[in-house]
Amino acid sequence: MATEVPQAAALGFQMVSAADGRGVMHVPWREDLVGDPDTGVIASGVVTSLLDHCCGMAITATTGERRPTATLDLRIDYMRPAAARAGVTVEAHCYHTTRSIAFVRAHAWDADPADPIATAQAAFMLTPTPAPAPGGAA
């Protein structure tokens, strides 16, 4: 997911791990991702994208299948800016799914997971997996 989605690839997202309904992604600091050159801090929009994307990865780690999702609701609480010239890591946990909705929590940090930059609570629509065509043809 970090390399196949054009936005994630352009932002330099890196997959760290995915298992048991959890996903971890990282974006290294780059000068072109800075929101304010005076501070050297990664832009909040990059953090938002990383949170959203990592939530999708946690859903895949829960369902065991890659299928399209749509963000229905994404609430982000920013606690503080990231440290200057620091990358950001996100861990997301898909804690509940129904037939059509997945519920995910995530948090972002720079140096210490216990000192988050932001937390997120989200709901995603799960796109039904298409039924196979009669006779097994795709």
Domains of the chain, by residue range, sit at: 6-126
User: Residues 75, 91: contact at Cβ < 8 Å?
Assistant: no
Instruction: Quote the pTM value.
Output: 0.90
What was the pLDDT predicted at 137? 57
C-alpha closest to that of 26 among 87, 105, 107, 92: 87
- We find that the CATH architecture of domain 6-126 is Roll (3.10)
Instruction: Give 5's pLDDT tier (boundaries 50, 70, 90).
Output: confident
- What is the arithmetic mean of pLDDT over 15-19? 95
What was the pLDDT predicted at 2? 64
Tokens of 76: 């982000």
Instruction: Give 103's pLDDT tier (boundaries 50, 70, 90).
Output: very high
Q: Is the pLDDT of residue 82 over 60?
A: yes
Q: Is the pLDDT of residue 9 over 70?
A: yes
Tokens of 104: 């995910």
Round the CA-based radius of gyration of the chain to a whole number and report it.
16
- What is the arithmetic mean of pLDDT over 75-85? 95
Tokens of 37: 């050159």
- What is the arithmetic mean of pLDDT over 54-58? 95
What was the pLDDT predicted at 25? 97
What was the pLDDT predicted at 133? 67
For the sheet with 88-97, list strands across it: 14-19, 22-27, 88-97, 101-109, 118-126, 69-78
Q: Is the pLDDT of residue 45 over 90?
A: yes
Q: Is the pLDDT of residue 51 over 80?
A: yes
Q: Is the pLDDT of residue 15 over 90?
A: yes
Instruction: Give 134's pLDDT tier (boundaries 50, 70, 90).
Output: confident
- Amino acid (1-letter code) at residue 65: E
Q: What is the SS3 assignment for 128?
A: coil
